[in-house]
Structure 1
Amino acid sequence: MKSLRVVLSLLALVAAVSAVPSHRIVGGEFTEEGDFPEMVSVYTDPLIGSKQHLCGGIILNDNHVLTTASCVNGRSSLHVMGAGVSLEDQSGYEEHKTVNMVIIHPDYDSVTKAHDLAILKLSHNFIFVTGLISPAVLPAPDTAEPATGTKMVAVGWGKDGPDGELQTMQKAVNMTYLSRDECSVIFGTFVQPNEGCLEGGDGHGICLGDEGGIAEDQEGTAMALVSWHVSCDAFPAVVTLLAPYHEWITSHFDT
């Protein structure tokens, strides 16, 4: 019964937000190779059907990637692409790997999106190249929640607006962090422990396909991953902080 109430409340929230006009593109700048060497595209490439970008992810080490559970849970034929900003392999430097194992956080809740993290074990190791492809810098496990107003950048290949299309070129957008308390003022009990929000300026925000993308602070630390959002630039996006999950993430490096 509790899950049903949550679903109905989410549907009501989505319906309310859908009434907000939002015809502007989601702002940001196109990136270049090496700007965010830890970023990957997570995509599906089935034997029957077409290749499709699903979400972003970040490189943890040479054969593990971190993304959102909501993106990959129940999916098959998963792959990742690193060392590239184009989904169309324009540079020739791109590294494509097959996902051999998906490790969903044991407490992930598909309804509330609590603990929205998954580790992808790859078939082959990445070949790290300085300035092109390298692991993310994770926050230390005792890192405090960022203060409201902390500047961050979000990266991804998501849609350029609510009615737009997925971008074939990676983009980055400047955002501002809102603490869990501030985020809860907007979304109430939908905001779970270890979550916060990213807020963009006018015409700047996160959209469909940006889930799993990095939220990086000004020191280059991967502070959070984008979890979910309502509409695109009309409301802040909810992110999962990574510091509280440091032990869980690193405990799977030998998997």
Structure 2
Amino acid sequence: MQDKIIDIECLYKKYEGSEFFSVKDLSLCIDRGTFFGILGPNGAGKTTLISMLCGLIKPTSGKLLVNEMPYSTHAYTIKQQIGVVPQEYALYPTLTAYENLCFLGSMYGLKGKILKERVNHYLDYLGLEAFKHKKIETYSGGMKRRVNLIAGILHEPSLLFLDEPTVGVDLQSRLVIVDFLKQLYQKGTTIIYTSHHLAEVEELCTQIAIIDRGTIYALGTSEELKIQTGKETLEQAFLALTGTNLRDDV
């Protein structure tokens, strides 16, 4: 029997003033130790779903458990067990990478020797040791992405949420980030991951959910989704399930 780390039943979310549900009647179980990809076109409900899973916004209705706990009564405990790497840089531009990470690590209760060792270890692993005392505002996009990633995993969470962690980076940074994520996964971290880079999703994810219009359209491995749709690539399967119409939104 698999150990569920996320359990969702009949989840709904409607924002105040909106006529439509951003997430509707969504049910999903994610097993511990999974590298889980959430795919969908713009406006599909991905960000809303991830925001609820991270405890940033409350569902309108439905059940949402993380490690068998609801946010309503165990928010602090859950947030100590999860890591969040947002698409936007969650960094202070006028502080150095080292200063940013020491401050953000302290927010999770890390301090002293352990905090300094972890900051230095991850900066070195991701190729940033030589630049750790430079201000973030001087960093390239790829360097900022790597620091952003470190900020989300310093406390070594058992569950990690990643929103487009390689968007806008150079190939070298992408390869370093992907290798680092593989290492985290192999060490037992459950990863929930969103991306528009479908080749990357196919390379990394052991399970994939395709969502659109706030609900799940398909669920399975990359190979299962291709077989289900009769397509040769994940990109073709994705388009077969969600269509080719533009999803521009303002």
Normalising by structure 2, report the TM-score.
0.23
Greater helix share, 1 or 2?
A: 2
Greater strand share, 1 or 2?
A: 1
Structure having the higher Rg: 2
Q: Of the two structures, which has the highest relative contact order with CA contacts closer than 8 Å and spacing of 6 or more?
A: 2
Normalising by structure 1, report the TM-score.
0.23
